Amino acid sequence: MVNVIGLGYIGLPTALMLASHGVEVAGTDYNEELVKTLNSGHVTFKEHGLDELLRDAIKAGIQFTTEYQETDIYVVSVPTPYDKFSKKIDAKYVLSAVQDVMKKALFGATVVIESTISPGTIDRMVRPALKAGGRMDLHLVHAPERIIPGNMVYELLHNNRTIGADDRDTGEKIRSLYASFCQGEIVVTDIRTAEMSKVVENTYRAVNIAFANELAKICRHDGMDVYEIIRICNMHPRVNILQPGPGVGGHCISVDPWFLVGDYPSLAKVIDESMRTNDAMPAFVLHRVYDIMREQGMKDLGRVGLYGLTYKENVDDMRESPTLQLLESQEKHLGEPLKVYDPLIAEDVVENQYHDLDEFLDAVDLVVVMVGHDEIRENREKMKNKVVLDTRNVCGGGCYHL
């Protein structure tokens, strides 16, 4: 039996996928409410295809519990935040999960860490924990996830994967576990390489987005169209520039590259500067708002509305969202809170939040498109009498851009 520890954005789909492909699975999470919700047959976040997957997994006998199980394979997928000051990984959740696993694991069991960790975390923190706990019989594996929110179920089935292990046998055992559902290629390597390649993948994307954001600022300075320039450049067979935006959110691209900056501060210069560029984007958007208001003779911040609260389009995930970052930096200026609306966020999370697109648009004169949800793409004409600052290039011409 496989015991999946942590039933969040990664652990839950992984546990369901294993169970619906014939693996005996118990999912463990310390959050009783979450376990109750799953046991009642409901998913805990919106994701395309997740409901069906939960139904299949329940039919196949998956168990959800707050207890760690006595078994021989554990998959740990708990959060790995970073310390905002030192920029280093905070591995406390991984380490506490490993402590609990050590109390229950059968002799010679395998502990797979799926959570993203900075290169060297297993050697520096997890192995010493096993030693201190007298559980050097346990085998460690790092199998970093790669799925993208919004397309998780498809990507779990089709993406290639990396498995890092200390020896071939353990690597092969875990490779065949993932091969129960994964149709992509599964590369087996050592743990250090698996840790590093995961962080490098997200860093590559962060640096590329920072480059696009910098281009947007250069183009703005001299009245050039950054989207057209990127489109043309990307027609070159070896160029693939990502899109500028109001900032980078989510729990990966805005977090993982900082691990490298934290561990190699004098070496990771490009990465450090890229992360600062992306982090400065919400404040840059706010400055654009002030400039546009001045240009348009607008005085009332209360007539400015932010469309979108999530970190990207068509997901209900607000972690590290640029809109929340913008609101935070605006609060520092003690301005009147801006109006906010997101079709995918039903609960009230910020002041002045609307739950209906028409009511929101009636209440504002300047709309800042922070997220390119399908809803706004399909309702572009509703903004035709508004001043629009479009940070996601959903409106085409006739509006302000970054």
Min separation Cβ 362 and ligand SAJ, Å:
27
Token pair in block for residue 192: 């250090």
Residue 20 or 277 having the CB closest to ligand SAJ: 277
Nearest to 313 by CA among 233, 265, 372: 372
Min separation Cβ 148 and ligand SAJ, Å:
4
Stretch (H or E) spanning 102: helix 92-104
Nearest to 313 by CA among 305, 323, 304: 323
Write the CB contacts of 323 (distance below 8 Å, at least 6 apart in sequence).
Answer: 246, 282, 306, 308, 309, 310, 340, 342, 370, 371
For 178-204, letters b (16+ CB in 10 Å) and e give beebbeeebebeebeebbbbbbebbbe
Residue 311 or 400 having the CB closest to ligand SAJ: 311
Write the CB contacts of 377 (distance below 8 Å, at least 6 apart in sequence).
Answer: 394
Write the CB contacts of 42 (distance below 8 Å, at least 6 apart in sequence).
Answer: 54
Min separation Cβ 155 and ligand SAJ, Å:
7
Min separation Cβ 96 and ligand SAJ, Å:
21
List the catalytic residue out of 198, 219, 312, 399. Answer: 198
Q: Quickly count: other Cβ atoms within 10 Å of residue 296's Cβ.
A: 12
For 260-270, letters b (16+ CB in 10 Å) and e give bbbbeeeebee
How far apart are alpha carbons 69 and 106 in whole angstroms? Answer: 10
- Taking the CA atoms of the chain, what radius of gyration do you get in angstroms? 23
Stretch (H or E) spanning 390: strand 387-390
Min separation Cβ 204 and ligand SAJ, Å:
7
Min separation Cβ 182 and ligand SAJ, Å:
14
Three-class DSSP category at 10: coil
Residue 35 or 371 having the CB closest to ligand SAJ: 371
Amino acid identity of residue 277, one-letter, is T
- CA dihedral sign of residues 160, 4, 250, 367: positive
Using CB under 6 A, list all residues that contact ligand SAJ.
Answer: 116, 145-149, 201-202, 205, 209, 242-243, 245, 248-250, 252-253, 311-312
182 in active site = no
Min separation Cβ 320 and ligand SAJ, Å:
8
Report whether 369 contacts 375 (CB < 8 A). no
269 in active site = no
How far apart are alpha carbons 220 and 43 in whole angstroms? Answer: 43
Min separation Cβ 55 and ligand SAJ, Å:
24
* Burial category of 165 from C-beta neighbours within 10 Å (exposed 0-12, middle 13-18, buried 19 and up): buried
List the catalytic residue out of 182, 219, 252, 395. Answer: 252
Q: Please list the active-site residues.
A: 198, 252
